[in-house]
Amino acid sequence: MSETLASTPAADGFRMPAEWETHAGCWMIWPERVDNWRGGAAPGQAAFAAVASAIAAHEPLTMLVSPGQWSNARRQLPASVRLVEASTDDSWCRDSGPSFVVDTRGRLRGVDWEFNAWGGLYAPCEADRLLAAKVLEVERAPRYRAPLVLEGGSIHVDGEGTVLTTEECLLNPNRNPELSRVEIEEHLKDYLGVSTVIWLGAGLVDDETSGHIDNLACFVRPGVVALTWCEDPNDPQYAISRDALERLSKARDARGRTLEIVKLPLPGPLFRGTEEAIDSMEPSHGTMSRGAGERLGASYANFYIGNGLVLMPELDPRTDGEARSILTKLFPDRTVIGLPTREILLGGGNIHCITQQQPAGIPG
């Protein structure tokens, strides 16, 4: 059984590695929830299968799948993908799964954050609350139980002591209303093994996660941040991106470096079509409604860095090529692969949201 530890990662000499450090593998969750995924979830499943197949060609991948979907997932996924039966409430492994940490001895452990479904966006979420513990149990990795409501998409680390996040998300009263900014920073330092927290303001416009950082900005290597950028002064993202640029320009990372900022184009704006609308969610499963014309939270920053690859979303033919060119220059030692991910976007996220890397290390 996975051990639950009473200390913190920082106290034990552990840190969360940067996403570009070597992985032991990647975790995903098979989508099936018909009130969130259109067409009986079939289009979403095809998109998840494409993402899983691309990643599995470069590193081991585990797909968590419910008993009723096991045979369906097995048919659609490469034989190299490991299936692990597990009950979940939805399929956002970045947010409900654990954040893995390592130490200088090569030991691997995991952080199990409090989870409340993005501030009460969906219900129920009891199965997702248990997911991090289940993953760590499968890996026999010791578990740290963090006293902080946090989703993995709300943080991005450089592996050298710095974490990026947004005020819109972590200071949102729907997450940790009893905690101050200083107290939240202390929890981040304790459970990620960082010493510097860089706060941006709002996240991407119309991102239903309340401003996850992985749609706005991310580290691509120490001292270098990719930022979603908008050139249209009439778009509400325009002011948000400029505020983020100003904050990043003034920031120093844990090593005292100023940050180089690389701008990624904003796709679209993209909107939900009539044929894609989810007019209402079943009262027993959710509280939000979706309709045609709703703006989608589309961002090229929502990519996954794996062993030897960068997997990016293809969102808009007008900007896909520019985004790919920028990422190719940022990651010269990795193959940049693009996949059409509108079906994932319609569910509320993108490639980074549905993946969770497990860094190299031996559980202990």
For residue 297, what are its two tokens? 């939270």
The reported pLDDT for the residue numbered 282 is 46
Instruction: Put residue 308 in one of left, alpha, beta given phi > 0 → left and psi -120 to 50 → alpha.
Output: left
pLDDT in tens, 230-269: 999 999 999 999 999 999 999 999 999 999 999 999 999 9
The dihedrals phi and psi of 336, each to the nearest 5 degrees, come to -90, 120
**Domain locations along the chain:** 4-363
Q: Which residues of 278-317 are buried (b: 16+ CB within 10 A; e: fewer)?
A: beebeeeebeeebeeebebbbbbbbbbbbbebbbbbbbbe
Is 3.75.10.10 the CATH classification of the domain at 4-363? Answer: yes
Contact 356, 97 (CB under 8 A): yes
Contact 214, 226 (CB under 8 A): no
pLDDT at 92 over 90: yes
The reported pLDDT for the residue numbered 290 is 72
Contact 80, 25 (CB under 8 A): no
For residue 89, what are its two tokens? 């409430």
The reported pLDDT for the residue numbered 279 is 46
- The verdict on whether omega for the bond into residue 340 sits within 30 degrees of 0, i.e. cis, is no
For residue 13, what are its two tokens? 């000499």
Annotate 309-357 with three-state secondary structure.
EEEEEECCCCCHHHHHHHHHHHCCCCEEEEEECHHHHHHCCCCCCCCEE
pLDDT in tens, 186-240: 999 999 999 999 999 999 999 999 999 999 999 999 999 999 999 999 999 999 9
Q: Which residues are catalytic?
A: 353
**Residue 338 burial by CB count (10 A; 0-12/13-18/19+): exposed, middle or buried?**
buried
pLDDT in tens, 109-135: 999 999 999 999 988 999 999 999 999
Percent of residues, the chain, with pLDDT higher than 70: 96
- Residues 6 or more apart whose CB falls under 8 angstroms from that of 261 comprise 224, 225, 226, 227, 245, 248, 249
The reported pLDDT for the residue numbered 278 is 60
How far is it, in rounded angstroms, from Cα 9 to Cα 320? Answer: 39
Band of residue 34 on the pLDDT scale cut at 50, 70, 90 = very high
Terminal-to-terminal C-alpha distance of the chain? 12
pLDDT at 280 over 60: no
Least confident range of 152-166, 232-246, 288-302: 288-302
The mean pLDDT value of the chain amounts to: 95
pLDDT at 288 over 60: no
Residue with tokens 């900007």: 319
Q: Are strands 156-157 and 260-265 parallel, antiparallel or unpaired?
A: unpaired
pLDDT at 283 over 60: no
The dihedrals phi and psi of 170, each to the nearest 5 degrees, come to -70, -20
The reported pLDDT for the residue numbered 292 is 80
> What separation in angstroms does the CA of 119 have from each of 41, 235, 241, 251, 345?
24, 26, 24, 28, 19
- Residues 6 or more apart whose CB falls under 8 angstroms from that of 331 comprise 20, 220, 305, 310
The reported pLDDT for the residue numbered 1 is 61
Q: Mean of the pLDDT values across residues 68-89?
A: 98
pLDDT at 314 over 50: yes
pTM of this prediction exceeds 0.85: yes
Q: Name the CA radius of gyration of the chain, rounded.
A: 19
